[in-house]
Amino acid sequence: MQRNERREFQRLELNPPLPGTLGTTAVSVLEVGVLGARVHHAGPYDDSHADLRFSFEGDAIEMKCEVVRTLPSVFDAGYESGLRFIAALGESGDRLRAMLGQLVVKAFEDRKDSTGTISAGKQVDGDKTVRGVDAQFISYRLDENGMWHHRRVFLPEQPAVGFTVARSVDSEEMKRLCDVYQASDEEGRRLIRLFAELSVSGALKIPPRV
């Protein structure tokens, strides 16, 4: 494995945060990805494991979590806890990926560049990109000359410049994703990697369903 390959999954900051519960404690979900979340709550939290519950557009999402750390919030009164997802309850894994895919597309729409040429909502079909069909992967790398190279890989590491997705027969959709990535700034490219990772997590069944 090359040194510049990265296995961690991106997280998306939620603005506004989503209300939810961690066990019986009311929380605001500040940031979420397929592997975990960051939540805000009024008082200290002592349990090491709990279920996180929140909703998005009427769909309930419930995740079994390990509480990795709890610290006083540096931005507001109260505390923040970092959560690692252990398992998804029922359809929650698919619902979480669908939510993240929708929010990433919206984030791109909000970040539409000054020339008016970048609009992920028009160029990328989120449903085609988010849902991987099997656990084989394709890595797309952008070289220093602006040329794209892609190859099948056994492990879904994310390259330093580019992204890795679950294998898809829709090559036109991947071309559009490459175009959006190449025209984006650093934060836009981070969002593209998050978007690509949704297909990877779906193929790998991360987090596992219980």
Tell me: pLDDT of 46 over 70.
yes
* DSSP at 210: -
Tell me: pLDDT of 5 over 50.
no
Confidence of residue 126 (pLDDT cuts 50, 70, 90): low
- Where in the chain are the domains? 12-92, 114-204
pLDDT for 7 equals 45
pLDDT digit string, tens, across residues 132-149: 444 478 889 999 999 999
What is the helix (H) or strand (E) element at residue 53, kind and residue range? strand 49-56
The residue among 123, 196, 124, 140 whose CA lies nearest residue 166 is 196
Tell me: pLDDT of 162 over 60.
yes
Tell me: pLDDT of 30 over 70.
yes
Query: Which CATH number is 12-92 given?
Result: 2.40.10.430
Torsion of CA 8, 13, 14, 15, to 10 degrees: -170
pLDDT for 122 equals 45
Note whether 178 and 189 are within 8 A (CB).
Answer: no
pLDDT for 136 equals 76
Confidence of residue 129 (pLDDT cuts 50, 70, 90): low
pLDDT for 2 equals 39
- Evaluate the omega torsion of the peptide bond into residue 207 and state whether it is cis, within 30 degrees of 0: yes
pLDDT for 209 equals 85
Tokens of 193: 């990697």
